[in-house]
Amino acid sequence: MTTTEAASTEAASQDTSLFEQAIGRYNAGAPVHELIGDFIAITEQAPRQSAGWTCLAWLQLLNNEPIAALRSAKVAVRLNPQDPQARVNLSLAMLETGTKGVREHIEIVQRVMVMAPELAQELQESIEDGLARKPGWDAMEKVKAWLNS
C-alpha cells in the first residue's frame, strides 16, 4: 500500500467513524439541531458519500429547514439514484417547498419497495421514526399514504 493509499484509507475510516458516531447519537435521541453540524462536516469531508447527504437532508427536514433539505436531498439522489430513502427525503422536501415532480420519485420508491422488501421494511421504520420525532408531519403522512397505496 502506498502512502497515498494509506492516507486515503485512513481518511475513509475516519469519515466512517464520524458517520457511525453521528448515527449512534441520532439513534440515542440526540437533538436534531445538534446533529446537523456533524452531518455538514461529514458531507464536507466526504462530498461523494450519498449516505451523509441523505442523513443531512433528513435532519434538515426534521428541523423545519425544507429549502436546505431540498438541496441536500438533490445531491443524495444524484449520487445514488437507487436509494429509496434519498428519494423519500427529496419527495418530502419537494412537498414542503411546493416543488413539482414528487410523483416520479414516489413511483421509483414504490418499485424499489416491491423489488427489495428489506429496504421497504427499513423505509417503513424510517417513516415511523419521522412521525414520532415530528408528530403531525403532513408531508410525511402524504408520502406514507402514497407508498402504502
Domain harbouring 24, CATH code: 1.25.40.10
Contact (CB, 8 A) for 127 and 143: yes
- pLDDT score recorded for residue 9: 34
Q: What is the pLDDT of residue 97?
A: 97
The pTM (predicted TM-score) of the whole model is 0.87
Q: What is the pLDDT of residue 38?
A: 95
Rounded CA gap, 91 and 97, in Å? 10
Question: Residue 23 sits in which domain range?
Answer: 3-147
User: How many domains are there within the chain?
Assistant: 1
Per-residue pLDDT at 16: 55
Tens digit of each residue's pLDDT, the chain (149 residues): 333 333 333 344 455 588 999 999 999 999 999 999 999 999 999 999 999 999 999 999 999 999 999 999 999 999 999 999 999 999 999 999 999 999 999 999 999 999 998 889 999 999 999 999 999 999 999 999 999 88
User: At how many degrees (to 10) do helices 84-97 and 66-79 cross?
Assistant: 150
* Cα Rg of the chain (Å, integer): 16
